[in-house]
Amino acid sequence: MQLSSPVFQQGSEIPSRYTSDGDNVSPELSWKDAPAQTKAFVLVVHDPDAPMAGGFTHWLLYNIPAEMGQLKEGIPTEERFSRIGLQGKNDAGKVGYVGPAPPSGTHRYFFRLFAVDKMLELGPGATHRQVSAAIKGHILAQAELMGTYEKKSERAA
pLDDT at residue 92 above 90?
yes
- Can you say how many angstroms the Cα of residue 156 is from the centroid of all Cα atoms in its chain? 31
pLDDT (tens digit per residue) in 15-69: 999 999 999 999 999 999 999 999 999 999 999 999 998 999 999 999 999 999 9
Cβ 22 vs Cβ 16: under 8 Å: yes
pLDDT at residue 155 above 60?
no
Of the pLDDT bands very low, low, confident and very high (cuts 50, 70, 90), residue 121 is very high
- Alpha helices, DSSP H only, in 24-146? 128-135
Task: Name 50's Cβ contacts closer than 8 Å, sequence gap at least 6.
Answer: 56, 91, 102, 107
Residue 16 vs residue 79, higher pLDDT: 16
Cβ 57 vs Cβ 91: under 8 Å: yes
The edge-to-edge listing of strands for the beta sheet with 29-32 is: 2-4, 29-32, 70-71
**Averaged over 78-82, what is the pLDDT?**
73
- Alpha helices, DSSP H only, in the chain? 128-135
- Predicted confidence at residue 15, as pLDDT, reads 97
Question: CA 135 to CA 140: how far, in whole Å?
Answer: 10
Look up the pTM and report it.
Answer: 0.93
Residue ranges and CATH numbers for the domains of the chain are: 2-150 (3.90.280.10)
Residue percentage of the chain with pLDDT more than 90: 86
pLDDT (tens digit per residue) in 10-29: 999 999 999 999 999 999 99
Residue 64 vs residue 152, higher pLDDT: 64
pLDDT at residue 137 above 80?
yes
